[in-house]
Amino acid sequence: MRVLGVDPGLTRCGLGVVDGGVGRAVTCVDVGVARTGTELSIDQRLLGVADEVDRWIARHRPDVVAIERVFSQHNVRTVMGTAQASGVVALVAARAGLPVAFHTPSEVKAAVTGEGRADKHQVTAMVTRLLRLAEAPRPADAADALALAICHCWRAPMISRMAEAEARAAEFAKAHKARLAAAQKERLAEAARARG
């Protein structure tokens, strides 16, 4: 599975492509950052992010795009920009026919470091080690994008198994409900025959 991980942002949008192998084997394909200038209008900045993500999808042909789920911070302006960039990335992926997965920062940190409250230095160090990189990806947005891709490589099989189990449980519940309804109908028919 090839995953394009995206750490959304307007000023710096981290991009990382990882190939998932057998078990927990992961390999770095590419890593970088899409940058937009603060002097540009918001629509132009979002267009810049969209264009760069388009190029990465065309160049690397991922199977899925994993995006960091936006979470509440104290700085509302930063959250708004991050949410807008996240939406644009999801739209670009959807237009390319790719599934999109969202992972929270704590899910990513837990997957990569084993600790949901790990700091950026710990995440960068583990990404560097897991992908056997000669040097740590810089800036942190690039390392975070790779961490997102790794997280999805490792979590996707579990998520898929859970979805299959939920679908089987829903089918079982539907069949059980139908049997109960049929039994109730039969009881009502027998009662009617007994009275008649």
Give me the active site residues, please: 7, 68, 141
d(CA 77, CA 67): 19
Residues 16, 34: contact at Cβ < 8 Å?
no
Where in 36-83 does DSSP place strands (E)?
64-68
Distance, in Å, from the CA atom of 180 to the CA atom of 192, rounded to the nearest integer, reads 18
Buried b (16+ CB within 10 A) or exposed e, 162-187: eeeeeeeeeeeeeeeeeeeeeeeeee
